[in-house]
Structure 1
Amino acid sequence: MMGPEAPSGFDPPLSSEVMECLPLSSTSSTSSYASAYRSVVTGDSFLFPSSSTLSSSSSFVDPPSYADAVFRPLQHHNGSNYSSISAAVTSRSGRASTSEYLEITVSDPQKENDAAASLVPGGGAYVTYLIISRTRGAAAAYSVRRRFRDVVTLADRLAGSYRGFFIPLRPDKGVVEGQVMQKQEFVEQRRDALEKYLQRLAAHPVIGHSEELRVFLRTLGKLPLLPDVASRMLDGAVQLPKQFFGDGCMTPQDAVQPARGGRDLLRMLKELKQSVTNDWGSVKPLVGEEDKEFLERKDWMQEFALQLNATSEKAEVLVKAQQDTGETMGELGLAFIKLLKLENDEAVYESQKVGASEAKSFATAAVKASRFFRELNSQTIKHLETLHEYIGLMLSIRNAFSERSDALLTVQTLLSDISSLRARADKLEAASARIFGGDESRVRKVEEIRKKITVIEDAKECATREYEKIKENNKYELDRFEKERHDDFLSMLRGLAINQAGYFEKIADVWGTVANDMSHYAKETS
């Protein structure tokens, strides 16, 4: 946000004060903010004063200066300053991660041409990004080049291998990407989104140690791609007639993967039918979700998501109000400077010039206060990023719960198939028994059905184990979520409170100085 500018051709007195109103260096302000923020998270003596902070002349604790806490770099217990962690691999709210990656950066976007896709209009150009990662104990950093399609492949592999975990969502692929690819703004937004996405993956206690992420960050050259959705759907359409007229049963290898991949259309149809039966049928499925604790936590999570969205809307109102206040304060100060310049030019007596000079200090104070409001708003936005992080996390949680529902649906579908095949085999056996000497064709058919039941039972066992694994993953993630949610929101609120107090103390100091300088007018009036 750009601050108010001084009128052209006007060089007001007290230029040193006006210069003091210019924005601070982003590096210095961020460093001191990060230091104060981390000291609050780790619980230093600022919030919990020791006996040494007690006044020697009073039994009360001397009130600390919030402004000093915000603007002065604080020391860690070992005496070293905290450093900026803007690019470091951290989990939400700056909490240290257990990941093996110390840092992941995405930079240097470069446009390249794909000869294989050059025949397609607009399909021959793409952008690659330089991804640099540093790991614990490694002497050198890893450096690879990746395009967005590689990131999509990484996300698909993680989704297939870590079902039930709260996997961070990858950036969306723009619908009009081909039209805006040439725009630098789009490329920079994607670069920033990819960097945050990889940092979130690395900060996850399980995903951060995955082989998939390690290969993506360390393997040079092009990565093998997974078949896209269109290819999988085409394969599924080709196999569908064979499944209808062949065995059409699910194998154990298929049972541990979700059906929505598109390669097995018959399975998708069966599971769709089972889902409709669960919702509208008169017969309950043979197994259901019996974890009452999970169902309660799921309901709570839905309510939490609604309240989170409402809180985020109010946070946006706060940011807008602080922005408007800062802009209005700056415009007021500059308007007074213009007004007082006219009076100063027309002043005849020395007393008039003195009065104009003192009034000008009021205008300068308004510009200073505007600067502090802008800085306060910038820090407020940084703290409130926690809300937006959790809104994105809600989508990851919903996906993890859907994985659980899908896995249960697979088990239900397989049990339904087994029950149907057993009923069919019993019916054939009964019909064969009514024929003297038996019916060889029916006997062979029964044997085929029994073999198919055996295969499906094996698949059901695999699907059940996959379901139980997803349940364990859900529980692990929910327990982690509850702990981190408490820490993250407490850190956010503490940081917001300290920044509000610190900046308003600075603003009060600015106006207090003006009030003291102009206090003699009150004495003269009385």
Structure 2
Amino acid sequence: MADMTESPPLFDNETKLDDLEDDDEDIFASAVQEQNQLEDTSPYNGVSKVQAELPKLSLRDMPEENSFSSMSSPAPGPLSPPLGLMNTDIGDLHDVPINDNADTLSANIIHSRSLEEVPADTSEVFLKITVTSPQKIGEGMGAYVAYKVETRTNMLIFKKRNFSVIRRFSDFLGLHDKLTEKYLRNGRIIPPAPEKSVIGTTKIKMSGDKNQEQNSSSTEFLERRRAALERYLNRTAAHPVLSIDPDFREFLEADVELPKATNTSALSGKGVMRLFNKVGETVNKITYKMDESDMWFEEKTSQIDSLDIQLRALHSAVDSLTNQRRELANCTGATAKSIAVLGHGEPGASLGRALAQLAETLEKVEVIRKTQSNSDLYQFGEMLRDYVALIGAIKDVFHERVKVFQNWQHAQLMLNKKREQKARLEQSSRTDRTSQAATEVIEWEAKVDRGQEEFDNISKMIKEEVERFELVRVQDFKKQLIEYLESMLQHQNQLIKYWESFLPEARAVA
């Protein structure tokens, strides 16, 4: 490798702005299931009658060419659709109003898979986490949202087998920061926490009972965030090292309010410093090019960049598909209302009856299409969004390796300078400073050895982590796509039944 000098960071990570106070609320800013296939214990409360009638089709009997049953790490399970804001009693917490209209998520969500049974074989180690009951606490700009985190496990490292705690959004971000500080330098891929959203949290703060449209938007935002938080915790729980971390265990089972995370608020002094540090990191990534000698990292970096582009493009397409299905559902509903009015004014009995039947059929089709859009979003779109963030986490750990290499090369450069200085002192016969120079040479030799050891260790760890990620990703995509296709088959089959039942009525028109 060619000797390179370190590109200094834009800001020191330890810099503090004491004169800036942390904003009191952090909601202004920004999944792993068990290896067993688990079944729901209770249906989603908001499922309509039409959805309940959907027949069960399965692709799981199809022959499988590849098996990942030998994986050592459990793959993330299906992305849980929203549970709805359940009326869970949490002291003095106030429920966020829920719009019961058919076009809201809480009324048209596919059957929830979040509340699943634990494995029947209790000898198998499992750690299952669900995030439920988003609750708005307070009113106005001082309001925030708390979540109920429920855990079921048979791991002996936990004190109980079933327990639950209340956590606010800043607690999740604080946990992620702690894990990143501990393990990123070692080459671990840290699952990313959900991003902050100023717009979404402002809507929640300002939502009220009178504004139903705003409440519907807030409900959708809360459900998406709840599902994202649940995926984040389960991905962390699936990691063999992160799952037993003391901070992670405290987050799950300490039934007390955690110390407020002071560096997660977007408007805090540390939040501003974190933003500037990210800018410095970005500049460093662009300007510093590492002379890579390990072809594995060069090839894997290219693959990760390509995968990132493809996933972003696919996520954008699925997002457009979701919006188009919702628009189609709304147009179908408007058509049903117009036909119903037309049927009431029709003098012919048979034609009027057929128009009324058509309007009723279109209303059912509207529900199905809204359910399809939710399936596009929560079974496919959110998984893609999740993996785009995971790719970002992989890039972060790759860049951490580059920073370790920079430190190593800097130590090597300083060692060369100290050796040259020692040689000049020996030639000039300045014995008074020769011993000090020799000591400095020994110190920098030790730093070079430590730097090389750290670089070798992080390179080895990254290879192991990326290999594990690839195995989990393949299994996760396979499982999610099968469930998504099953859902689409159910929807299309139900649409066929609706139109077949209407056909005799249409033929009976005189």
Alignment partner, residue 133 of structure 1? 150
Q: 1:101 aligns with which of 121, 128, 131?
A: 128
Q: 2:505 aligns with which of 507, 511, 514?
A: 514
Moved more, 132-141 or 315-324: 132-141
Q: Could you list the per-position Cα deviations for residues 38-80 of structure 1 after superposition, in whole angstroms to 9, with x for gaps in the alignment?
A: x5153399xxxxxxxxxxxxxxxxxxxxxxxxxxxxxxxxxxx
- Normalised to the residue count of structure 2, the TM-score between the two structures is 0.65
- In 1, distance between residues paired with 2:388 and 2:199? 20
Q: 2:196 aligns with which of 172, 175, 178?
A: 172
- In 2, distance between residues paired with 1:233 and 1:499? 45
SS in 1 for 2:144: strand
SS in 2 for 1:135: strand
Q: 2:391 aligns with which of 394, 398, 419?
A: 398
Greater fraction helix = 1
- Normalised to the residue count of structure 1, the TM-score between the two structures is 0.63
- In 2, distance between residues paired with 1:303 and 1:201? 22
Q: Could you list the per-position Cα deviations for residues 220-261 of structure 1 after superposition, in whole angstroms to 9, with x for gaps in the alignment?
A: 222134552766699x9xxxxxxxxxxxxxxxxxxxxxxx79
CA positional deviation for 1:130: 4.9
Alignment partner, residue 111 of structure 1? 138
CA positional deviation for 1:504: 2.7
* Equivalent residues in 2 for 1:231-246, closer than 5 Å: none
Alignment partner, residue 206 of structure 1? 239
CA positional deviation for 1:133: 1.0
Alignment partner, residue 244 of structure 1? none
Alignment partner, residue 174 of structure 2? 153
* Equivalent residues in 2 for 1:424-463, closer than 5 Å: 424-436=417-429, 438-463=430-455
The answer as to whether partners of 2:193 and 2:229 remain within 8 angstroms in 1 is no
Residue 223 in structure 1 maps to residue 264 in structure 2: no
SS in 2 for 1:146: strand
Alignment partner, residue 89 of structure 2? none
CA positional deviation for 1:324: 4.6
SS in 1 for 2:189: coil
Residue 40 in structure 1 maps to residue 69 in structure 2: no
Alignment partner, residue 3 of structure 2? none
Residue 485 in structure 1 maps to residue 477 in structure 2: yes
1:102 to 1:314, Cα distance in 2 relative to 1, 3 A: closer
> Which protein has the larger Cα radius of gyration, Structure 1 or Structure 2?
1
CA positional deviation for 1:379: 2.1
- In 1, distance between residues paired with 2:46 and 2:504? 24
How many residues align? The count is 392
CA positional deviation for 1:27: 4.9
SS in 1 for 2:58: helix
CA positional deviation for 1:455: 3.2
Q: Could you list the per-position Cα deviations for residues 83-117 of structure 1 after superposition, in whole angstroms to 9, with x for gaps in the alignment?
A: 95354269xxxxxx9852264323443329xxxxx
CA positional deviation for 1:424: 0.3
- In 2, distance between residues paired with 1:453 and 1:139? 50
1:313 to 1:454, Cα distance in 2 relative to 1, 3 A: same
Residue 85 in structure 1 maps to residue 112 in structure 2: yes
The answer as to whether partners of 1:337 and 1:360 remain within 8 angstroms in 2 is yes
1:232 to 1:506, Cα distance in 2 relative to 1, 3 A: closer
1:295 to 1:228, Cα distance in 2 relative to 1, 3 A: closer
The residue type equivalent to 1:165 in the other structure is I
The residue type equivalent to 2:508 in the other structure is D
Q: Could you list the per-position Cα deviations for residues 4-39 of structure 1 after superposition, in whole angstroms to 9, with x for gaps in the alignment?
A: xxxxxxxxxxxxxxxxxxxx9835444444x72xx5
* Equivalent residues in 2 for 1:7-406, closer than 5 Å: 26-33=47-54, 36=56, 39-43=57-61, 84-88=111-115, 99-101=126-128, 103-111=130-138, 125-127=142-144, 129-136=146-153, 141-161=162-182, 163=184, 164-165=188-189, 167-174=191-198, 177=201, 181-184=205-208, 185=215, 188=219, 191-204=222-235, 205-206=238-239, 209-211=243-245, 212-228=247-263, 275=285, 278-279=288-289, 285=291, 287=293, 290-291=296-297, 293-316=299-322, 318-320=324-326, 322-340=328-346, 343=347, 356-385=348-377, 386-406=379-399
- In 1, distance between residues paired with 2:167 and 2:404? 38
RMSD across aligned C-alpha pairs, in angstroms?
Answer: 4.1
CA positional deviation for 1:197: 2.7
1:409 to 1:486, Cα distance in 2 relative to 1, 3 A: same
Q: Could you list the per-position Cα deviations for residues 136-160 of structure 1 after superposition, in whole angstroms to 9, with x for gaps in the alignment?
A: 4699853433233222212222434
1:302 to 1:383, Cα distance in 2 relative to 1, 3 A: same
The answer as to whether partners of 1:418 and 1:456 remain within 8 angstroms in 2 is yes
Moved more, 133-142 or 383-392: 133-142
SS in 2 for 1:290: helix
CA positional deviation for 1:392: 1.6
SS in 1 for 2:138: strand
Q: Could you list the per-position Cα deviations for residues 273-302 of structure 1 after superposition, in whole angstroms to 9, with x for gaps in the alignment?
A: 9756634xxxx6375663355245324413
1:447 to 1:226, Cα distance in 2 relative to 1, 3 A: farther
- Percent identity, please: 10
CA positional deviation for 1:200: 0.9
- In 2, distance between residues paired with 1:176 and 1:516? 50
Instruction: Indicate the structure whose relative CO is greater, using CA pairs within 8 Å and at least 6 residues apart.
Output: 2
- In 1, distance between residues paired with 2:137 and 2:431? 72
The residue type equivalent to 1:26 in the other structure is V
- In 2, distance between residues paired with 1:372 and 1:176? 31
Q: Could you list the per-position Cα deviations for residues 371-409 of structure 1 after superposition, in whole angstroms to 9, with x for gaps in the alignment?
A: 121121122123212332133223322322222322221
CA positional deviation for 1:470: 2.8
- In 2, distance between residues paired with 1:374 and 1:203? 34
- In 2, distance between residues paired with 1:194 and 1:111? 19
